[in-house]
Structure 1
Amino acid sequence: MNHDAQPAAISNEQWRHAKALQQQLDALLGEVLGAAKLCHKLGSVEESVQQVPALGRVALASSLPLIVRNKKRKEFIGGWLNYQVSLAGDGVPLQQDGTPVGAVLHVAHWACEFAFEYDAFVGFPASAWQPWENRGNRLLWWEESESHFGAEWTYTLQLAALDSNEALLAAVVRPALALLQGKPVDEALPADVPGLLRYHDVAAEGGCDLRVSVG
């Protein structure tokens, strides 16, 4: 199935909701990560928007630079905490029956920021990605990383479940912080996280792809 073959363009109301969530989540991440002293300081959030012909704006992303200092006290970006809200388009994964799962939010620690214009984002099919380790069917893991904060990882949530500050804290902010702090997956990202999608590796031409399921 072609992920771009969506029935209708994203409505203004859907987009306003996504932008409001972005503002809310940026503020929560800045507050909690700043208080946790995870890094020397947090840089300015970088934003990106994905547009698809006939559908218009289908996704947005925020990337938070985690700034560290070396022994000479020189500051540099040690890694990035990213998230991506995909309402439609190739950021929406397929379920095991081949149908799109619906609007999602991807959370990721990568060595680079999300930027749709540079093809640096979570997009499917996953067969073109670097080989991953699927941990507990809920966290994709890449051990090799240039990030100061260790392995790179990604997990995915149903957007509809993120309907309050508490849901954002429970599903995005606290798990992301715990993973960046190196806590075990079962502790940092328990199976009962609100809206957490399960990843399933499936055989695909030229490699491996992913499908998702709810709960």
Structure 2
Amino acid sequence: MQNTQADASARDAEQAWRKAKQLEQALIELLQQALPASGLCTVGKPLTEQQKRGESRQALCCSLPLLQKKKRKDTIVAFLDFQISLAGDGVPRRGLSGEGEPFGPVLHIAHWTCEFSFDYDAYVGFPATGWQPWVNQAGRLLRWEDSESPFGDEWTYSLRLDALSADEGLLRQVVLQPVLALLEGASAEQALPDELPGLIRYVDVPAADGLQDLRVQT
């Protein structure tokens, strides 16, 4: 019986990982085509990593360098990053007190001035106290000011993975359109409307030493 349960868990984990990889590839293909077509920038070679705990694959991340011409040369001016977390510290928690409970698999999308890297601790990981000072805008967009990017502040938003698929139409709605709007300076409410499929809403909660953490609003 125990072997049967272990085999089923292993099959479920493998299926979840295959779906994550399919979503990763669909996002890369969409963004590589659509970002240059927008006229905002061109896109460099994707940088990818995996996060493991022992033999368990918990998350993957991908960073697309955003390029603009400077002195006639393509120069990296920022990154469009995304992270698919099935388990581990990339999964946010719900519950306004205590350690909370893991919310479930998520997709994080970000405009940062650096690439995501699990090896160098540059990724979306919880608790959120280590990322401060962020600003939680309308409960749906985390912003960091004083960015050197020509596209303005750094930001991150999150989507429930169970609301997503590799369907191009859906990914245009929940990733491409919000990304383009935010890169062009739209507000959180404009770029990420309440009805956006899978949108995760965050609330600030007090943490130690006067810091703030984030929990999923349920």
TM-score with structure 1 setting the length: 0.90
Q: How far has the Cα of 1:27 moved from its partner?
A: 0.8
Per-residue CA deviations over 1:36-94 (Å, capped at 9, x if unaligned) read 0111x2101111111113x6110001111101122x22321000000000000000000
Q: Which amino acid aligns with 1:88?
A: A
Q: How far has the Cα of 1:202 moved from its partner?
A: 0.3
Counterpart of 2:6? none
Gaps in structure 2 of 5+ consecutive residues: 1-8
Q: Which amino acid aligns with 1:15?
A: W
For residues 42-61 of structure 1, the aligned pairs below 5 Å read 42-53=43-54, 56-61=56-61
Counterpart of 1:37? 39
For residues 55-70 of structure 1, the aligned pairs below 5 Å read 56-70=56-70
Q: Which amino acid aligns with 2:177?
A: R
Counterpart of 2:74? 75
Q: Which has the larger radius of gyration?
A: 2
Counterpart of 2:217? 213
Counterpart of 2:126? 124
For residues 81-92 of structure 1, the aligned pairs below 5 Å read 81-92=80-91
Q: How many residues align?
A: 204
Gaps in structure 1 of 5+ consecutive residues: 1-7
Q: Which amino acid aligns with 1:74?
A: K
Q: Which amino acid aligns with 2:58?
A: V
Q: Secondary structure at the residue paired with 2:142?
A: strand
Inter-partner Cα distance in structure 2 for 1:34 and 1:158? 27
Counterpart of 2:158? 156
For residues 131-210 of structure 1, the aligned pairs below 5 Å read 131-163=133-165, 164-206=167-209, 207-210=211-214
Q: Which amino acid aligns with 2:65?
A: P
Q: How far has the Cα of 1:130 moved from its partner?
A: 2.1
Inter-partner Cα distance in structure 2 for 1:174 and 1:134? 20
For residues 74-113 of structure 1, the aligned pairs below 5 Å read 74-96=73-95, 98-113=100-115
Instruction: Judge conservation of contact 1:199–1:212 (CA < 8 Å) in 2.
Output: yes
Q: How far has the Cα of 1:177 moved from its partner?
A: 1.2
Instruction: Judge conservation of contact 2:78–2:113 (CA < 8 Å) in 1.
Output: yes
Inter-partner Cα distance in structure 2 for 1:37 and 1:64? 16
Inter-partner Cα distance in structure 2 for 1:167 and 1:52? 31
Per-residue CA deviations over 1:191-210 (Å, capped at 9, x if unaligned) read 21110000100000121100
RMSD: 1.5
Q: Secondary structure at the residue paired with 2:26?
A: helix
Inter-partner Cα distance in structure 1 for 2:24 and 2:61? 8
Higher helix share: 2
Q: Which amino acid aligns with 1:162?
A: L
Inter-partner Cα distance in structure 2 for 1:69 and 1:133? 31
Instruction: Judge conservation of contact 1:161–1:167 (CA < 8 Å) in 2.
Output: no
4+ residue runs over 3 A deviation: none
The percentage of counterpart residues that share the same residue type is 51
Q: Which amino acid aligns with 2:162?
A: A
Q: Secondary structure at the residue paired with 2:16?
A: helix
Inter-partner Cα distance in structure 1 for 2:104 and 2:131? 21
TM-score with structure 2 setting the length: 0.89
